[in-house]
């Protein structure tokens, strides 16, 4: 969840809260897919290079950020629904051992970055924990 290893948890927390606020505004249609990122609280997080929405693989507008290749528009998915999913995913990741170290009370000690992680170990820790097992009941198939 951190951009790099060693970033103070408080700094990453502030960025995550900004991201969640942005996603909330999109999910509740307070920001449209045509809103320029430079006009949002996300302006400092992206290198913005133009005004055109949906024209390149560089996010300039809210819609670009949530649908950079246009796949969701083709499937008629709502950008607001995707933003809600991004919020939920962020919250979910904040409880994954591959993303966060917490103390016994649940307080976050450190956020991890993906850069120096082993892909297989990351995926294993990302698997849903169910009473001490790594079985995910959502994808379990009945015989």
3-state secondary structure 18-75: HHHHHHHHHHCCCCCCCCEHHHCCCHHHCCCCCCCCCCCCCCCEHHHHHCCCCHHHHC
pLDDT of residue 96: 83
pLDDT of residue 137: 41
Q: Which residues pair with 110 in a beta bridge?
A: 101
pLDDT of residue 136: 40
pLDDT of residue 21: 96
Quick check: 33 and 79 in contact, CB under 8 A? yes
| Neighbour count for residue 23 (Cβ, 10 Å) | 24
In the chain, how many domains are there?
Answer: 1
Quick check: 22 and 79 in contact, CB under 8 A? no
pLDDT of residue 66: 83
The answer as to whether 4 is a domain residue is no
Rounded Cα–Cα distance for residues 119 and 95 (Å): 18
The answer as to whether 110 is a domain residue is yes
Which residue ranges of the chain lie beneath pLDDT 50? 130-143
The answer as to whether 3 is a domain residue is no
The answer as to whether 20 is a domain residue is yes
Rounded Cα–Cα distance for residues 83 and 79 (Å): 6
Residue range(s) defining the domain that contains residue 57? 9-117
The answer as to whether 130 is a domain residue is no
pLDDT of residue 57: 63
The answer as to whether 18 is a domain residue is yes
pLDDT of residue 72: 62
The answer as to whether 57 is a domain residue is yes
The answer as to whether 122 is a domain residue is no
pLDDT of residue 14: 93
pLDDT of residue 84: 94
pLDDT of residue 33: 86
pLDDT of residue 138: 37
């Amino acid at each position: 969840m951190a951009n790099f290893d060693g970033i103070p948890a408080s700094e990453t927390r502030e960025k995550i809260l900004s991201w969640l606020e942005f996603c909330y505004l999109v999910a509740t249609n307070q920001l449209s897919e045509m809103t320029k990122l430079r006009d949002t609280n996300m302006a400092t997080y992206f290198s913005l290079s133009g005004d055109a929405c949906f024209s390149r693989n560089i996010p300039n507008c809210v819609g670009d950020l949530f649908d950079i290749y246009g796949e969701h528009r083709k499937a008629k998915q709502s950008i607001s629904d995707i933003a809600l999913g991004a919020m939920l995913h962020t919250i979910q990741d904040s409880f994954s051992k591959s993303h966060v170290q917490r103390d016994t009370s649940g307080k976050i000690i450190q956020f991890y970055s993906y850069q120096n992680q082993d892909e297989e170990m990351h995926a294993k820790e990302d698997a849903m924990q169910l009473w001490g097992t790594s079985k995910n009941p959502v994808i379990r198939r009945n015989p």
